[in-house]
Amino acid sequence: MNALKNMTALKKLALMGIALCGVAAAVSLPPVASAEPGDGPLIETSCSYEQLMAALQVQAPQASARLADHPEAQAKLRELIALPVDQRRQRVQGYLDRNPDIRAKIEEKRNTPEGQQKVQMLARVADTCHDY
């Protein structure tokens, strides 16, 4: 029974890592074909992790609460945001290159009304994070 619980916990951690990279990638995938993948408001931001979290709490309290429940995802996001912009781009691009199925899912979901709402919400977070 413990082994099953540990397996479930590992799966949840893996999915959270994928989701975190997916969030970063979703905002980095360009809306037009000529833009470079790996660019986007959260990838390009000069805000600190703390500023982004404060903006997320105001702009998207439900997303903020979900993230608060996952310290592993918070750590990964903190690690990503601590990198210089060019390294963030490389990390996201490398992840997407190694996981074309995830890239395809992100692109597919990004084109849905719900996906567009999430992209807009994350853009608002990036646009307002300097206020915190």
User: Could you please report the per-residue DSSP string of 61-111?
Assistant: HHHHHHHHT-HHHHHHHHHHHHS-HHHHHHHHHHHHHH-HHHHHHHHHHHT
Q: Are 21 and 88 in contact (CB under 8 A)?
A: no
CA nearest 131: which of 66, 52, 68, 37? 52
CA distance 72 to 20: 10
Q: What pLDDT is stored for residue 84 in this prediction? A: 95
Q: What is the pLDDT of residues 38-62, one digit of tens each?
A: 557 888 999 999 999 999 999 999 9
Q: What is the mean pLDDT of each run of 10 residues along the chain (132 residues)?
A: 50 47 46 44 92 95 93 93 94 92 89 89 93 96
